[in-house]
Amino acid sequence: MLAALGDRVVGISTIQMGGAQPGLMSAADQAKAASPDCILTVGGGAQQDAGKLLRLYLAAPPHTGGATPESICAASASPAPLVPQICIPNSFAMAELTSVAGMTLSSGVKSGAAHPSLMPTVVLLDRGLMETLPDWVRFGTALRCVEHAVGAATHPNATEAIVEAALIGLGEAKRGIEMMAAGQAGGGGGEVDTYVGGWRAVRALNTSGCYPALGHLIGNMYSARFDVHQGACSGIMCARIVAWQVAGSGSMIGGRIAEALGGTSDEHPAKLISDLAAMCPGVVREHQEAGVDIDALRECVGGWNLDRLNGLTSNTFKDLEDVFGVLTKPLGELCGA
């Protein structure tokens, strides 16, 4: 398709999973040399975020040497007008609907930028692109919609309007995921419902200081450190983190999440999320299945910022060992959290 556009396309770059630094810097240098009128991004969250960062770099003041993460992110402090970005997503990661952008540094650390002007200009949804994805991407990114929704709904900064929008999106995404898993996606129902639900959820998350949510931040750090697809992060962590979030005394949010997932208010939302993840083909639910060594995970968690994590939950952690315990709690024990 791009080749057919001829000389209207001034450059094509491939960005790897997570927005890895080498490919992103090469694309930034190529974009700077080509001076494009707009950026077209086709793919998942890494590609959509990369497009935002390329726009920042194009607007940055000239400097000597090639692109660096610092030179790209520094431009977000006061960006000049950015070239338009046209997004064609092929998954449910939803990066094309936010004003934040992440990249994975060569050191295994997640970095990025945030500014209202980073919001892409146009999003075009072609559900046919999603149908050909492998299950671990298709359903893994669909579970990200669930994680975005419960992250927004349980965030300490969430208003009632944010909670309501997030839970409507949660119900829509859950319905779409079930349709896709049952092979009933004819006519676009499964993909479109999942995408619309994910849109509501991520817009709730990206509003009024609700970004990042606890699960989103942990997933980003985990993904960058262990090179795990973020859909796998959601399958492994979402139910466990929700169990922790709703365990605070006097919280009514657990019952509302359960109802949004099609259950009753006295059902535990962590079990409903765990059951939903279990029906998704190709999505792993345990650290070992994603190739993560538990001892390495303990070491990784030991370097996290406890105050940062506690700022994203009303049910605070005592220490980082507490965080490790939440992330490794057996799925069968979540309802007693």
**Whether the predicted pLDDT of 320 surpasses 90:** yes
Query: What is the band of 188 on the pLDDT scale with cuts at 50, 70, 90?
Result: low
**What's the 3-state SS for 246-289?**
CCCCCCCHHHHHHHHCCCCCCCCHHHHHHHHHHCCCCCCCCCHH
**Whether the predicted pLDDT of 181 surpasses 70:** yes
Domain residue ranges of the chain, discontinuous segments joined by +:
3-123, 130-336
pLDDT for the residue numbered 125: 92
- What is the DSSP pairing of strand 110-114 with strand 100-104? antiparallel
- Considering the entire predicted model, what is its pTM? 0.88
pLDDT for the residue numbered 107: 78
**Whether the predicted pLDDT of 185 surpasses 60:** no
Q: Give the range among 85-89, 127-131, 153-157, 224-228 with minimum mean pLDDT.
A: 127-131
pLDDT for the residue numbered 306: 98
Q: If 0-12 CB within 10 Å is exposed, 13-18 middle and 19+ buried, where does residue 107 land?
A: exposed
CA distances, 316 to each of 64, 109, 221, 248 (Å):
46, 24, 19, 9
**Whether the predicted pLDDT of 323 surpasses 80:** yes
Backbone region of residue 209 per phi and psi (left: phi > 0; alpha: psi in -120 to 50; beta: other values): left
Q: Give the range among 63-77, 138-152, 179-193, 297-311 with minimum mean pLDDT.
A: 63-77
pLDDT for the residue numbered 79: 67
**Whether the predicted pLDDT of 147 surpasses 70:** yes
Residue 312 backbone phi and psi in degrees, to 5: -110, 10
Please name every residue paired with 110 in a beta bridge, in sequence order, or none if there are none: 104
Tokens of 201: 């959820």
Interval 302-312 mean pLDDT = 96
Q: What is the mean pLDDT of the chain?
A: 89
- Write out pLDDT tens, residues 3-13: 788 888 887 87
Interval 196-207 mean pLDDT = 93
- Write out pLDDT tens, residues 55-111: 988 887 776 677 887 777 776 666 678 999 999 999 999 999 999 888 878 777 778
Of the candidates 46, 33, 34, the residue with the CA atom closest to the CA atom of residue 103 = 46
Interval 148-159 mean pLDDT = 94
Under CATH, which number does the domain 130-336 receive? 1.20.1090.10
**Whether the predicted pLDDT of 22 surpasses 80:** no
Of the candidates 195, 213, 86, 103, the residue with the CA atom closest to the CA atom of residue 145 = 195
**Separation between Cα atoms, residue 176 and residue 167, nearest integer Å:** 14
Tokens of 159: 């208003």
Provide the CA 213 distance to its chain's centre, in angstroms. 10
**Whether the predicted pLDDT of 15 surpasses 70:** yes
Give residue 223's identity as a one-letter amino acid code: S
- Architecture in CATH of 3-123: 3-Layer(aba) Sandwich (3.40)
**Cα 123-56-108 angle, rounded to 5 deg:** 95
